[in-house]
């Protein structure tokens, strides 16, 4: 490194700082100012990381060089010991290890998928590992997000993860992006890396990641996990420009249309078994290593790239993994075909609206205010009153077994939705089998429906009214607004939170 270079970088950093202050004084929007400063901080951290890597490389060359200044050993002695067990694997070897050492990998998400993936990538000796996540560590994360510790609750996930990764392997350069991925920032961030890992859990971000990866020419390793199942794909591999049919398919090629917004279930709602999401994250790391170390397909190549495939993991099935071959790029794909309408400009400008495309994840209220009651009001009305009423808990059996209101009846929403909602007629007067006898009677005692968060309960209230159980308005049927989350906040602070 030339002696003048540090002065050059200090000058650039000084200029960046001065420019930032100027923007603070001139920009009309505080939000835009903060976004600009965050972007500059990220760029400065990248510059610093590059400088540290250059310094480490220069020092390593000095240590490994002979008296004539020629490079004798391409790795440090400690690195030979650290990576030796994988270097003697024929698919890796010394050339593959050197590729890993020079590779830059970005993980979008530092949660259940990102933690094990980053752990194994760091252990393998990836040269630069970037983590982008705007969330902080919560206690509920710890059973599956294995890089985080109890002492780090409240810290940014990326900082907590990097703290653990440095303890595991101090050699890689770790870059923290303490923010949620946005269309405005995604292209600039992706350009800094060689391989992208999608470790997120919502459709809108998945489409953004895939689109940006294709347009920036980066291979993408995408995975997901929920309950006891997971999925894994390697996309845009090999990475090719839009319109090049030799490139690998993208996320839009596999899923041209997103799932209905009201059908998307998160880990918080559906649950997740830790080893399941851990397995998928480890497989992501494995696929990333394969992408980095496998040469381009060419004449004489003995290790061709794997064909595009969707791997489906199911913890309670045999076999554990099923593989479905994927087609090549779609001829009408909006991002990777010759007819592409999605570009980096449409992403940055917001013209490609991912939230609109995938639908809002905020479910609208299905009931009127008169059909809902707060947890506090329900408790005040019935804790001292002997008025007969019925409480229907529509969570699944496992959740009902964790905690439940006294004398409540468990009817899982899955059971309710599996039956027709048609109102009984004179020809067909039988109600579905899930309807308890006390609800099918002519009683006018009120019925309250409760769930975990106050969404499923609204659906069941509508279903029960469609069946005529409200006796044409004579019987009150409503839900407890906000479900057991509100019950804990308003009534019983010791109620289990899970």
Contact 187, 181 (CB under 8 A): no
- Please tell me the distance from the alpha carbon of residue 326 to that of residue 26, in angstroms, as a whole number: 51
Assess whether 403 carries a catalytic annotation.
no
Maximum distance among all alpha carbons in the chain?
100
Assess whether 253 carries a catalytic annotation.
no
- Please tell me the distance from the alpha carbon of residue 376 to that of residue 406, in angstroms, as a whole number: 16
- Considering 199, 216, 333, 451, which one is annotated as catalytic? 451
Beta-strand ranges (E) seen in 161-285 are: 173-177, 195-198, 220-226, 229-235
DSSP class per residue in 49-70? HHHHHHHHHHHHHHHHB-TTS-
- Please tell me the distance from the alpha carbon of residue 80 to that of residue 64, in angstroms, as a whole number: 12
Instruction: Supply φ then ψ for residue 23, to 5 degrees.
Output: -65, -40
Beta bridge partners of 480: 373
Q: Which of 110, 201, 205 is nearest to 156 (CA)?
A: 110
Residue for token pair 């279903």: 463
Q: What is the dihedral of CA 27, 33, 35, 38, to 10 degrees?
A: 130
Beta bridge partners of 136: 156
- Considering 250, 267, 336, 358, which one is annotated as catalytic? 267
Q: Which residues of 110-126 are buried (b: 16+ CB within 10 A; e: fewer)?
A: bbbbbbbbbbbbbbbbb
Structure tokens at 76: 């440090």
- Please tell me the distance from the alpha carbon of residue 461 to that of residue 469, in angstroms, as a whole number: 10
Q: Which helix (H) or strand (E) holds 28?
A: none
Beta-strand ranges (E) seen in 263-406 are: 309-314, 321-325, 372-374, 390-393
SS3 content of the chain, % helix, strand, coil (to 5): 45, 15, 45
Active site (catalytic) residues: 267, 451
């Amino acid at each position: 490194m030339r002696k003048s270079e540090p002065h050059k970088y200090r000058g650039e950093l000084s200029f960046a700082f001065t420019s930032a202050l100027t923007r603070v004084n001139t920009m009309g929007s505080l939000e835009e100012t903060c976004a600009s400063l965050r972007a500059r901080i990220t760029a400065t951290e990248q510059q610093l990381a590059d400088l540290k890597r250059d310094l480490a490389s220069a020092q390593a060359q000095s240590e490994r060089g002979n008296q004539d200044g020629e490079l004798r050993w391409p790795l440090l002695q400690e690195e030979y010991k650290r990576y030796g067990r994988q270097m003697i694997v024929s698919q890796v070897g010394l050339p593959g290890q050197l590729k890993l050492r020079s590779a830059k990998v970005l993980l979008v998400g530092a949660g259940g998928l990102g933690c094990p993936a980053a752990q194994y990538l760091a252990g393998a000796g990836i040269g630069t590992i970037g983590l982008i996540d705007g969330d902080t560590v919560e206690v509920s994360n710890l059973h599956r997000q294995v890089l985080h510790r109890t002492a780090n609750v409240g810290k940014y996930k990326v900082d907590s993860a990097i703290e653990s990764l440095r303890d595991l392997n101090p050699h890689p350069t770790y870059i923290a992006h303490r923010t949620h991925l946005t269309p405005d920032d995604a292209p600039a961030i992706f350009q800094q890396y060689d391989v992208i890992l999608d470790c997120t859990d919502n459709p809108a971000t998945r489409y953004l990641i895939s689109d940006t990866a294709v347009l920036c020419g980066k291979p993408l390793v995408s995975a997901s996990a929920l309950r006891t199942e997971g999925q894994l794909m390697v996309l845009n591999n090999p990475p090719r420009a839009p319109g090049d049919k030799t490139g690998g398919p993208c996320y839009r090629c596999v899923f041209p249309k997103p799932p209905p917004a009201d059908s998307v279930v998160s880990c918080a709602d559906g649950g997740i078994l830790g080893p399941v999401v851990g397995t998928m994250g480890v497989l992501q790391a494995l696929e990333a290593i394969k992408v980095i170390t496998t040469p381009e397909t060419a004449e004489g190549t003995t290790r061709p790239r794997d064909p595009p495939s969707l791997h489906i993991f199911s913890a309670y099935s045999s076999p554990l993994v099923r593989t479905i071959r994927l087609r090549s790029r779609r001829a009408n794909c909006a991002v990777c075909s010759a007819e592409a309408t999605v570009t980096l400009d449409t992403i940055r400008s917001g013209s490609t609206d991912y939230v609109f495309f995938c639908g809002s994840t905020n479910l609208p209220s299905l009931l009127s205010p008169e059909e809902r009651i707060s947890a506090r009001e329900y408790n005040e009305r019935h804790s001292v009153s002997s008025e007969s009423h019925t409480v229907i808990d529509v969570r699944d059996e496992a959740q009902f077994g964790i905690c439940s209101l006294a004398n409540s009846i468990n009817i899982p929403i899955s059971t309710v939705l599996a039956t027709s909602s048609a109102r009984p007629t004179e020809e067909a007067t039988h109600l579905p089998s899930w309807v308890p006898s006390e609800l099918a009677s002519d009683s006018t005692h009120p019925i309250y429906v409760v769930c975990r968060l106050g969404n499923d309960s609204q659906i069941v209230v509508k279903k029960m009214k469609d069946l005529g159980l409200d006796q044409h308005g004579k019987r009150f049927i409503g839900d407890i607004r906000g479900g057991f989350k509100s019950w804990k906040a308003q009534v019983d602070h010791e109620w289990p939170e899970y």
